[in-house]
């Protein structure tokens, strides 16, 4: 996802309280590692997220890309947690994609690429469950912080801020830059 207006950082060691709505959702739903056979459903949810984020070009990846990049390379280029639809086990209601990075000043870190919950299940604690699972993995892997970006109009900003996220675009002098594929090819002399 490109062109985000805000960048956030969460330091390890936050997120301990669980609202009662989250405890209720946790009683009937669970977060699990994605499996190869989930890639088609994850791709469907990625499309839903792109539509929600008003990105008309949508994702440029398909389920085969997801399979290759998470299951066919070692180490995987990304990791994914999913939540099954309690009414239809062939469907997913949410996912979180993350990967590990390294900061020259801080060391191990985690990057949360996406977290998404279908509209029907929003407000039921599913997003909190996915977020908590990613954070727990980051702490387990001894990551010192987690970065992610949020569109400036996305109401999820309140969700993240309530869990200790800081908007480092507003706080500091940090700006997120992006080089698209055409630019990468031009810079390497492989534009044709």
| 153 occurs within a structural domain | yes
What distance in Å separates the CA atoms of residue 20 and residue 17, rounded to the nearest whole number? 10
Tokens of 75: 């180490």
Range of the domain at 149: 31-166
**What rounded mean pLDDT belongs to the chain?**
87
Q: Which of the pair, 12 or 180, is modelled with greater confidence?
A: 180
pLDDT score recorded for residue 27: 60
| 175 occurs within a structural domain | no
| 156 occurs within a structural domain | yes
pLDDT score recorded for residue 23: 47
Q: Among all residues, which ones are annotated catalytic? A: 160
Q: How many domains would you assign to the chain?
A: 1
pLDDT-based confidence at residue 5 (cuts at 50, 70, 90): very low
| 77 occurs within a structural domain | yes
DSSP assignment of 105-169: TTEEEEEEEEEEE-GGGTTTTHHHHHHHHHHHHHHHTT-SEEEEEE-TT-THHHHHHHTT-EEHH
| 177 occurs within a structural domain | no
| 10 occurs within a structural domain | no
pLDDT tens, position by position, 161-189: 999 999 988 887 888 888 998 999 999 98
| 78 occurs within a structural domain | yes
pLDDT tens, position by position, 21-46: 444 445 689 999 999 999 999 999 99
The domain that contains 61 carries what CATH number? 3.40.630.30
Q: Which of the pair, 134 or 13, is modelled with greater confidence?
A: 134
| 8 occurs within a structural domain | no
Mean pLDDT in residue range 109-131: 96
pLDDT tens, position by position, 132-162: 999 999 999 999 999 999 998 999 999 999 9
């Amino acid at each position: 996802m490109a062109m985000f207006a805000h960048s956030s950082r969460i330091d390890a060691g936050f997120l301990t309280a669980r609202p009662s709505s989250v405890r209720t959702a946790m009683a009937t739903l669970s977060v699990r590692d994605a499996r190869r056979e989930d890639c088609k459903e994850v791709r469907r949810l990625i499309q839903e997220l792109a539509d929600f984020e008003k990105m008309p070009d949508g994702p440029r990846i398909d389920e085969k890309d997801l399979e290759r990049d998470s299951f066919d390379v070692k180490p995987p280029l990304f990791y994914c947690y999913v939540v099954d639809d309690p009414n239809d086990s062939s469907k997913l209601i949410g996912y979180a994609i993350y990967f590990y990075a390294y900061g020259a000043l801080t060391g191990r870190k985690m990057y949360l690429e996406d977290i998404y919950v279908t509209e029907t299940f929003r407000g039921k604690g599913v997003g909190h469950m996915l977020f908590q699972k990613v954070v727990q993995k980051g702490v387990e892997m001894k990551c010192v912080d987690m970065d992610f970006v949020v569109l400036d109009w996305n109401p999820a900003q309140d969700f993240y801020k309530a869990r200790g996220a800081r908007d480092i675009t507003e706080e500091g002098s940090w700006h997120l830059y992006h080089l698209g594929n055409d630019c990468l090819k031009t810079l390497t002399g492989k534009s044709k």
